[in-house]
Amino acid sequence: MAFWLGLTGSIGMGKSTTAKMFAAEGCAVWDADAAVHRLYAEGGLAVGPMSEAFPEAVIAGAVSRERLKEMIGADPATLNDIEKIVHPLVAADRVNFAESAQSDIIVFDIPLLFEGGNEGKMDAVVVVTADEETQRARVLERGTMSETHFETIKAKQMPDVEKRNLADYVVTTDTLESAERQVKAIVKEIRAGLNNA
């Protein structure tokens, strides 16, 4: 039985980079955002139900995330309807991945792990963190988001301090070397526990 490790953290904290570090340690990594991309792509499992509920959101056989953003902007209640379609498909994708994974540790990279109430499905949770200045600088350096949009997203996420308090492990991503050391230590501790079980 594989160990299920939830990986989460607010925007700009270095979660994607940390996920790659876990993969480098031989962990299987499931990415919630990548799952949504698969579901929305042409031939993806979300395209059919989404085209029935929101035909205007499907363009050239795929769900347009840009169109969905516009629709949610015009009517925030739309988000609940979209989530009712997409969340069960994402959950099924996660289970399928777990069943076929060949690793002793499966890392579930889920941005809104606590917000979605998924922490209870995990054996342990890692929260990735950085100081507020680093977080802001990283997000704005990407050049894909305005300061206002960043603040809006941050406001929807559970505060970093609360996430850290709920976590079993915290990885501070101040430098790559430091984060790598922390990831190696977590993997070593979990594997030691599995070997003694």
What is the pLDDT at residue 18?
97
- What is the pLDDT at residue 155? 85
The total of other beta-carbon atoms located within 10 Å of residue 34's CB is 12
Q: What are the beta bridge partners of residue 33?
A: none
Q: What is the pLDDT of residue 62?
A: 97
- The four Cα atoms 108, 159, 172, 112 give a dihedral, to 10 degrees, of 10
Q: Give residues with Cβ within 8 angstroms of 191, minimum separation 6.
A: 104, 105
Gap between the Cα atoms of 180 and 78, Å rounded: 40
CA distance linking residue 115 with residue 154, whole number of Å: 12
DSSP per residue over 137-179, as a string?
HHHHHTSS--HHHHHHHHHHSPPHHHHHHH-SEEEE-SSHHHH
Question: Across the strands, what pairs with 4?
Answer: 106
One-letter amino acid identity for 165? Answer: N
3-state helix, strand, coil split of the chain in percent (to 5) is: 55, 15, 30
The whole-number pLDDT of residue 15 equals 95
User: Can you give the residue ranges of every domain in the chain?
Assistant: 1-27+105-197, 34-102
Give every residue of the chain whose pLDDT is below 70, as ranges.
197
Q: What's the pLDDT score for residue 29?
A: 98
Q: How far is CA 88 from the centre of its chain?
A: 15
CATH number of 1-27+105-197: 3.40.50.300
Model pLDDT, residue 144: 85
The whole model's pTM is what? 0.90
Q: pLDDT by residue (tens digit) across 19-60? A: 999 999 999 999 999 999 999 999 999 999 999 999 999 999
